[in-house]
Amino acid sequence: MSQNEAIERLGIFGGSFDPPHQAHITLALRAIEQLHLDRLLVIPTGDAWHKARDLTLAPHRLAMTRLAFADVPKVVVDSREIDRHGSTFTFDTLEEMARDYPFAKLFLCIGGDQAHAFTTWHRWKDILNRVTLVVAFRPEDKSGTHSVDDAQWHNGLPAGAIRLEMPSLAISATDIRLQLAQSDAFPSALPIGVCEYIQQHSLYKNDR
């Protein structure tokens, strides 16, 4: 039996990671603990069709993500979406996962902002047939008595979706990019290795 075939519970956590920060790491740790994962694949997106802004070049985002998660047990940073040519879709990644991890139960971890737009995703109904959806809400998403199968989720998310228990971390990559563009000081939410990489490559300064 190969190492992949021995994986029974596999988490998948995708995103732009532009840059990766402490809330991403906390989500990974909570997912591994709450879902009893054997492995969590962290997958930086490649050509993100849904992003209105230009992402930082993929090699930089991949390198920063590897630095951010280097010391997190059970996490593997996976480059398949960056390596894939053209637009990349979650469904295609899940198809590959089903082949690479034939005996694994798949858990797709997404944020609350992604969840609200989930029914716009490419082949979202097919995604739901392949994975258990796991949603990590930001603090501002918890203001009401929302549940993962609430009416605000339009009309398609399953009752079996799981809410990931997250602490109140008011951290966003958008705010971090803005701070980096306006100041030479690094936000405390950035891992040290990521700060050093950003400084070395003068990232996010062109927005000034």
Assess whether pLDDT exceeds 80 at residue 69.
yes
Q: What is the mean pLDDT of residues 180-190?
A: 93
Q: 94 lies in a domain?
A: yes
Assess whether pLDDT exceeds 60 at residue 38.
yes
pTM more than 0.75:
yes
Q: Say how many residues make up the chain.
A: 208
Tracing tokens 């879902």 back to the chain, one arrives at 35
* Domain that includes residue 121, residue range: 4-171
Q: What is the mean pLDDT of residues 36-52?
A: 83
Reported as a single tens digit per residue, the pLDDT across 123-181 is 999 999 999 999 987 655 544 444 444 544 544 456 689 999 888 788 889 999 999 99
What's the confidence (pLDDT) of residue 138?
Answer: 66
Q: 197 lies in a domain?
A: no
What's the confidence (pLDDT) of residue 170?
Answer: 80
d(CA 166, CA 157): 20
Long-range contacts of 44-47 (CB under 8 A, 24+ apart): 44/14, 44/15, 44/16, 44/17, 44/77, 44/79, 44/81, 44/82, 45/14, 45/15, 45/16, 45/81, 45/82, 45/88, 46/81, 46/82, 46/83, 46/84, 46/88, 47/86, 47/87, 47/88
Q: State percent of the chain over pLDDT 90.
A: 64
Q: State percent of the chain over pLDDT 70.
A: 85
Burial class of 132 by CB neighbour count within 10 A (0 to 12, 13 to 18, 19+): middle
Q: 118 lies in a domain?
A: yes
Sign of CA dihedral 28, 91, 153, 149: negative
Q: What CATH number did the domain enclosing 127 receive?
A: 3.40.50.620
Q: What is the mean pLDDT of residues 38-53?
A: 80
What's the confidence (pLDDT) of residue 146?
Answer: 46
Count of structural domains within the chain: 1
Q: 33 lies in a domain?
A: yes
Q: 147 lies in a domain?
A: yes
Tracing tokens 């939410």 back to the chain, one arrives at 189
Q: Which amino acid appears at position 114 of this protein?
A: Q
Assess whether pLDDT exceeds 50 at residue 202.
yes
What's the confidence (pLDDT) of residue 6?
Answer: 86
* Mean of the per-residue pLDDT values of the chain: 87
What's the confidence (pLDDT) of residue 87?
Answer: 78
Q: 91 lies in a domain?
A: yes
Q: 154 lies in a domain?
A: yes
* Residue of higher predicted confidence among 150 and 114: 114
Please name which of 21, 137, 135, 43 lies closest in space to residue 89, comparing C-alpha atoms: 43
Tracing tokens 């609200």 back to the chain, one arrives at 116
Q: 15 lies in a domain?
A: yes
